[in-house]
Amino acid sequence: MNIVYHENTRTFHLYNDRISYIMTILRNGHLGQLYFGKQIRDKEDFSYFLEMSERPMSSGIYENDRSFSLEHIRQEYPVFGTTDYRQPAVEVRQENGSRISNFCYKGHVITDGKPVLPGLPATYTEADEEAKTLTVMLEDAVTGVQVELYYTIFARGGVLARSVRISNGGTQAVRLSRAMSLCLDLPDREYVWQQLSGCWARECHIRTRNLEPGITAIGSMRGNSSHEHNPFVVLRRPNADERQGEVIGISLVYSGNFRLQAEVDAHDTLRLLAGVDPETFEWKLESGESFQTPEAVMVYTDRGLNHMSQTFHKLYQRRLARGYWRDRVRPILNNNWEATYFDFTEERLVEIASKAKECGVELFVLDDGWFGARSSDRAGLGDWQANRDRLPNGITGLAERIEAMGMRFGLWFEPEMTNKDSDFYRAHPDWILATPERSQSHGRYQHVLDFSRKEVVDAIYEQMAAILREAKISYIKWDMNRSITECYSAGWPADRQGEIYHRYILGVYDLYDRLTTEFPQVLFESCSSGGGRFDPGMLYYAPQGWVSDDSDAVERLKIQYGTSLCYPISSMGTHVSVSPNHQVFRDTPLHTRANVAYFGTFGYELDLNKLSGEENEEVKEQIAFMKKYRQVLQYGAFYRLKSPFEGNETVWMAVSEDQKTALVGWYRVLNGVNGTYTRVRLEGLNPSYCYRNVYSGTTHFGDELMCAGLITSDETAGQVPAGVKPYTDFESRIYVLEAED
């Protein structure tokens, strides 16, 4: 790992054993992009990568010189209107109305380690030797606005983290109307674009398209990163697949409005931009003030999609998630929501928890309905005190009863919201986001609190902290069930209203930071009607998130498969729920519901008292299995082997760090008859280890399982013998492979 600056050619080269990133200072003082890809040898001059040549009808910067135009030069942080007609990375509106800027090189510094981004989540280092950071300073001489471009290259993996700090060093106020975190100009468009899209209950479906001239983009203007589009995209070469080929992944560490876009120009060069959504953003910078963009993380590999995913998994597990629970296996929980909804008493909860404890559950979670006048979703949000009619001993008393059973206790909050039917709203009607003299839209009968205001965040913090200080609470499910509308804050002047979306999410981060600092051993799980804010920004504070409100095992195959493109298995909240499922009303076998949920944090979303004795014995076996193998399942290397988006079967696997244990999840949606014989080639095993297949009792060397494959055929490939339990739709198996001594 190194960062080299070649003075004679004014060239920067960032590299480790995986990647190289090369830039140069252009003739006009701007920063130009030369190369991003597989690691290449360092040398002084890479200027031939610039591909700068005169093109017909291009506008030139210098008088009587047509050879230099920004229209066809790859750049690091481009502006609009000075011969570059593509979408810019930054736009500064000045007091005279001009949006023209000219950011020229002023200097640079190279430091060990990685700087902290104040108020924002970001990847981090624990030792200086883990990374190096290049900071390049640019300045606009007319306005005095300064730009600092941060590039951190990690010692291990093809990872580059980028962000930008913009400061007003002039005497007049300016307004940022665009401040992207990353611009990456690439020399060609021969990539396939992949995104994770969907909506509530079918999040993170993989969508694929070819890049054509024009703009391909995803984003959110909802105030949260959204169910519709995750802040993550992949560019892969057309011949790349899970196992081989060039792949670039871009992930934005942010939980608010965002945009990721690829622009292909008339000459088939490609500009990728990532950052805060510019349509809903404006930021006033008074003299001396600064704005910090969120961090964007770039991963390059020439070893296919799975290697890109594993790079993200390792980075986000170990150097984005933080704290007590970062490296620990997660407790197996039972959540009461689908078991009771709002209809419960303390005794009913204790009854559910007692059966859960009997089956081996480690954590009981009380969901919505425990506070204020909360008997439905129409009232009570904001009044974070126990409803004594339901819980006569309060949260403290219930928690003590659960703890006395030998389990931990967890609690649901939705701290960013209020109902108009609440004491909190009646005391502070101006504390919601609402535009004067306009209608106030609701979602789920609730309104969004104005977290851009410190006094609002303070008030919610004091209520939550009071409960956490008093009661024995080990886990918090932090929900957020609606997007922002009428985004206006009564606490800020008119010329600051363009800042409210971003200030809101900064307030969310501030509340998370205060709570996780004061209560470091509480496990936080983020939720936003499921996956509406499942993003890297949340992962910094909450090491796991509820992937989707849809807990149907068949639907979860696509949701969890897509999510794994960027996010580690340890971050995915996965539960066994009742059958028929409450979202799609599908009947699925109990073992299949568990076999899908194993590849995540694992828990139950039902009342185990309502299962048969035989089913409860099966649940006990499932919990014992998860306890035995959760280290491998949650922290092992994860491989996608067969995609649910491409056929009737899904296969994935996790391999322990020492390669001695592997668990293969095999899932078939619809049953067949007289079908083909099937096998799947495994990944990540040690070729020389001999593995015993616990499912079949057979033994195979690792090279055999990876080259010839694991046989997955069953009796549906022939005729089911008499006396053999028939297979059904929604069948699944877990193959356990243990290396023999």
CATH number of the domain to which 661 belongs: 2.60.40.1180
Count of CB atoms within 10 A of residue 397's CB?
A: 14
Residues 181, 236 within the same domain:
yes
Q: Is residue 635 part of a domain?
A: no
Distance CA 53, CA 162 (A): 29
Residue 154's closest CA among 378, 1, 323?
1
Note the pLDDT of residue 460: 98
Active site residues: 479, 549
Domain end point (choices 293, 319, 345): 319
User: CB-based contacts of 93: which residues, under 8 Å, 6+ apart?
Assistant: 99, 174, 175, 176, 177
- Which neighbouring-strand residues pair with 109? 135
Cis peptide before 580 (omega within 30 of 0): yes
Q: Please answer whether residues 574 and 560 qualify as being in contact, where contact means their C-beta atoms are separated by less than 8 angstroms.
A: yes
| Same domain? 124 vs 229 | yes
Q: Which domain holds residue 658?
A: 649-739
Taking a C-beta distance cutoff of 8 angstroms, is the pair 423, 382 a contact? yes
Q: What's the CA gap between 54 and 630, in Å, rounded?
A: 60
Question: What type of residue sits at position 288?
Answer: G
- Does 135 share its domain with 215? yes
Tell me: do 246 and 304 sit in the same domain. yes
- From 294, 319, 344, the end of a domain falls on 319
Claim to verify: residue 609 and residue 655 sit in the same structural domain: no
Q: Are 354 and 405 within 8 A, CB to CB?
A: yes
Where residue 525 sits, what CATH number does that domain have?
3.20.20.70
- Under 8 Å between Cβ of 356 and 364: yes
Establish if 670 belongs to a structural domain: yes
User: CA-to-CA distance for 198 and 538, rounded, in angstroms?
Assistant: 19
Local structure of residue 196 (DSSP, 8 states): E
Same domain for 14 and 82, yes or no, is yes
* Distance (Å, whole) CA 552 – CA 618: 19
Domain membership of residue 131 (yes or no) is yes
Write down which residue in 260, 289, 319 finishes a domain: 319
Give me the pLDDT at residue 65, please.
Answer: 87
Distance in Å from the first CA to the final CA of the chain: 38
Q: Which helix (H) or strand (E) holds 418?
A: strand 417-418
Task: Work out the angle at residue 204's Cα, subtended by the Cα atoms of residues 203 and 207, and round it to the nearest 5 degrees.
Answer: 125
Residue 124 resides in a domain: yes
**pLDDT tens digit string along 641-689?**
999 999 999 999 999 999 999 999 999 999 988 888 999 999 999 999 9
Q: Which residues contact 517 (CB under 8 A, 6 or more apart)?
A: none
Distance of alpha carbon 478 from alpha carbon 481, whole angstroms: 10
Q: Nearest Cα to 188, choosing from 268, 256, 298?
A: 268
Tell whether 636 is covered by a domain: no
**377 token code pair:** 């979703």
Q: Is 682 exposed, middle or buried (0-12, 13-18, 19+ CB in 10 A)?
A: buried
For residues 106 and 368, give the distance between their C-alpha atoms in angstroms, rounded to a whole number: 54
Answer for the pair 90, 178: CB distance below 8 angstroms, yes or no: yes
In a domain, 211, yes or no: yes
What is the rounded CA–CA span in Å between residue 131 and residue 153? 6
262 and 221 in a common domain: yes
Could you give the C-alpha distances from 236 to 19, 252, 302, 312, in angstroms and in order?
A: 16, 18, 10, 15
Evaluate whether 47 touches 10 at the Cβ level (below 8 Å). no
Q: How many angstroms separate the Cα of 302 from the Cα of each of 206, 248, 565?
A: 21, 9, 16
| Cβ partners under 8 Å of residue 165, min gap 6 | 147, 148, 150, 290, 291, 292, 293
Rounded CA gap, 591 and 109, in Å? 56
Give every residue of the chain whose pLDDT is below 50, as ranges.
none
- State the pTM of this model: 0.98
Question: What is the total count of domains within the chain?
Answer: 3
Q: What's the rounded Cα separation, in Å, for the pair 665 and 682?
A: 11
**Contact assessment for residue 695 and residue 557, using Cβ atoms and an 8 Å cutoff:** no
Residue in 597, 651, 676, 607 with CA at minimum distance from that of residue 629 = 597
Q: Is 400 left (phi over 0), alpha (psi -120 to 50) or beta?
A: alpha
- What is the pLDDT, as a whole number, of residue 565? 98
Do residues 510 and 480 share a domain? yes
Asked if the structure places residue 350 within a domain, the reply is: yes
What single letter denotes the amino acid at residue 291?
Answer: F
The DSSP code sequence of 427-439 is: H-GGGB---TTS-
pLDDT for 720: 74
Query: What pLDDT does 66 receive?
Result: 85
**What CATH number is associated with residue 158?**
2.70.98.60
* 363 and 314 fall within a common domain: no
Same domain, 269 and 295: yes
Residue/partner pairs of 326-330 with CB below 8 Å, 24 or more apart = 326/543, 327/635, 329/630, 329/631, 329/634, 329/635, 330/523, 330/544, 330/570, 330/601, 330/602, 330/630, 330/634
Residue 67 lies in a domain: yes
- Do 32 and 116 sit in the same domain of this protein? yes
Q: Looking at the structure, do residues 83 and 201 belong to the same domain, yes or no?
A: yes
Residues 176, 283: contact at Cβ < 8 Å?
yes
Collapsing DSSP to helix, strand or coil, 378 comes out as coil
Per DSSP, 537 falls in state H
